[in-house]
Structure 1
Amino acid sequence: MPHPQEDLLIAKQIAPTAMRLLVLQVLQQHAAALSLTDVEQLLQPVDRVTVHRTLKTFTEKGLAHRIEDGSGAAKYALCEPACTPELHQDLHVHFFCTSCRETSCLPTVAVPAITLPGAYQVQETSLVMKGRCARCAAPTETMQ
């Protein structure tokens, strides 16, 4: 019987081990980007080093991207299907909610092109916006 998660790993040239399948499943089940600690807690008990290596492999193979949102812990989210190890297609805005502390990918909001002066050579571009996410900013119903 076909296993879509195994097929996805194989398509990205990642050997489908049990841990890799579990980490992939966790990333697929969460809309917000997750830190190493988040993944580790969701999969308890698990070896932290193995989870770290799995996330690193996913990033290197174009399956996930790493987000530095200023919270002190890198977060990980699945890439767009077109991402490759050589070229991540994830030039979109990331949003860090200062209330719930979740980081979300906003793939419909592109990072604007910026031209740098002189001999500056860009190697990586990211844009993190901070504020309150839609869920936290929504008015709460008053109790009667």
Structure 2
Amino acid sequence: MKNEENILQQRNIKPTAMRLLVIEKLLKQQYAISHKELAEQFENADNVTLFRTLKTFLEHKLIHTIDDGTGVVKYALCQSGCNCKPSEQHTHFHCSQCQRTFCLTDTEIPNINIPLNFKLEGINLVLKGRCDRCN
């Protein structure tokens, strides 16, 4: 778990047992995952501890949330060096068949001009269709 410890330390997160287990699971994910899906991967996970771990990861910008329109918040790892600024955000793809949501890190969100005196704090662009596995 040396790699997991390094990732946490780079974001100034103390590597507790639960944090190490969660980062290990997130590193193996190919798509964004909900709190419930993550909890199901642990035999005896305390939901409160898991929620606090995710909250800590969010505060330290290790993960980001995705609102894919399903009503369930999903989580995915941020890229190295990301600070979750609008200029660093990327698009997501939600599969209408398998319900998985993928980060499209190579697809930037297009530049959008916002009205004068508006302050942009976040962007959420979700493409919808069928993933390669379901198509």
TM-score, L = length of structure 1: 0.88
Alignment-derived partner of residue 121 in structure 1: 119
2:132 alignment partner AA? A
Contact 1:40–1:46 (CA under 8 A) maintained in structure 2: yes
Alignment-derived partner of residue 105 in structure 1: 103
What's the CA shift string for 1:105-132, capped at 9, x where partnerless? 0001100010012322211112111111
CA distance in 2, matches of 1:94, 1:87: 16
1:4 aligns with 2:3: yes
CA distance in 1, matches of 2:10, 2:131: 33
Alignment-derived partner of residue 25 in structure 1: 24
CA distance in 2, matches of 1:89, 1:8: 23
Alignment-derived partner of residue 134 in structure 1: 132
CA distance in 2, matches of 1:121, 1:105: 25
Contact 1:79–1:90 (CA under 8 A) maintained in structure 2: no
Shift of 1:87: 4.0
Give the aligned length.
135
Mean Cα deviation higher: 116-125 or 95-104: 116-125
Shift of 1:37: 0.3
Structure 2 spans left out of the alignment, 5+ residues: none
CA distance in 2, matches of 1:132, 1:36: 23
Structure showing greater radius of gyration is 1
Alignment-derived partner of residue 70 in structure 1: 69
Q: Secondary structure of the residue that 1:32 maps to in structure 2?
A: coil
Shift of 1:88: 7.1
Greater RCO (CA < 8 Å, at least 6 residues apart) = 2
Mean Cα deviation higher: 117-126 or 97-106: 117-126
What's the CA shift string for 1:62-103, capped at 9, x where partnerless? 11111111111110000010113x747641110110100000
Structure 1 spans left out of the alignment, 5+ residues: 138-144
Contact 2:94–2:126 (CA under 8 A) maintained in structure 1: yes
Percent same amino acid at aligned positions? 41
1:41 alignment partner AA? E
Alignment-derived partner of residue 15 in structure 1: 14
**Shift in alpha-carbon separation, 1:135–1:90, aligned structure 2, 3 A:** farther
Contact 1:65–1:90 (CA under 8 A) maintained in structure 2: no
Root-mean-square deviation (CA, aligned residues, Å) is 1.6
